[in-house]
Structure 1
Amino acid sequence: MADCEAHNNGDENKEQRPNGGGDEGDAWGSRDFSSGRSVAKMPVERNAPYYNMNHKNRGWALIFNHESFDVHNLKKRVGTSADSSNLAKVLVSLGFRVSVMDDKTVSEVHKYLQDVAEMDHTDNDCLIITVLTHGEMGMLYAKDAHYKPENLWHYFTANNCPTLAGKPKLFFIQACQGDQLDAGTTLVNRTETDGSSSMSYRIPNHADFLIAFSTVPGYYSWRNTTKGSWFMQALCEELRYSGTERDILTLLTFVCQRVALDFESNTPDMMLMHQQKQVPCITSMLTRLLVFKKKH
Structure 2
Amino acid sequence: MGYVLILNNEQFDIQNKSERKNSKKDVLALKNVFYKFNCSVKIVMNPTLKDIHDNLNELLIENLKQASCLVVVLMTHGLENDHAYAKDKIYNIGDEILKSKSFQDFKDLPKILIIQACKNEDKDFKASCEHTKPKVYNTFRYNSCFEGGKSLRADGGTLFIQTLYNNLNNYGLDEDIESIAKRVNREFENEYKDYKQNPTILKYNGGFDKFCFGNNVKKTFCLKENVSKSFVVG
Q: How does 1:200-215 map to 2 (within 5 A)?
A: 206-215=136-145
- Could you say which residue in structure 2 is the equivalent of 1:90? 33
- Cα deviation for residue 96 of structure 1 reads 0.8
TM-score of the pair, normalised by structure 2? 0.80
- Could you say which residue in structure 2 is the equivalent of 1:218? 148
Q: Work out the CA distance in 1 between the residues paired with 2:75 and 2:90.
A: 13
Q: Work out the CA distance in 2 between the residues paired with 1:100 and 1:157.
A: 16
Which deviations, in whole Å up to 9, do the C-alpha atoms of 1:93-118 show, x marking residues without a partner? 11110011111111111111112453
Q: CA RMSD in A?
A: 2.0
Q: Secondary structure of 1:124's match? A: coil
Give the number of the structure whose residues are more often helix, by fraction: 2
- Could you say which residue in structure 2 is the equivalent of 1:27? none
Q: Does 1:292 align with 2:234?
A: no
Q: Does 1:279 align with 2:174?
A: no
Distance 1:61 1:120, change over 3 A: closer
* Structure 2: stretches of 5+ with no match in the other structure: 123-133, 222-234
Number of equivalent positions = 202
Structure 2 residue aligned with 1:153, among 81, 84, 98? 98
Q: Work out the CA distance in 1 between the residues paired with 2:181 and 2:195.
A: 21
- Could you say which residue in structure 2 is the equivalent of 1:122? 65
Which deviations, in whole Å up to 9, do the C-alpha atoms of 1:244-290 show, x marking residues without a partner? 111111110011122333336xxxxxxxxxx5321101101343211
Q: Work out the CA distance in 1 between the residues paired with 2:146 and 2:114.
A: 13
Distance 1:284 1:86, change over 3 A: same
Q: Does 1:139 align with 2:90?
A: no
Letter in 1 for 2:162: Q
Q: Does 1:170 align with 2:112?
A: yes
* Structure 1: stretches of 5+ with no match in the other structure: 1-56, 181-203, 265-274
Q: Work out the CA distance in 2 between the residues paired with 1:208 and 1:116.
A: 21
Q: How does 1:1-296 map to 2 (within 5 A)?
A: 57=1, 59-137=2-80, 138-150=82-94, 151-156=96-101, 160-161=104-105, 164-178=106-120, 206-224=136-154, 226-263=155-192, 275-285=194-204, 286-293=207-214, 294-295=217-218, 296=221
Q: Secondary structure of 2:174's match? A: coil
Look at both structures and tell me which one has the larger radius of gyration over its CA atoms: 1
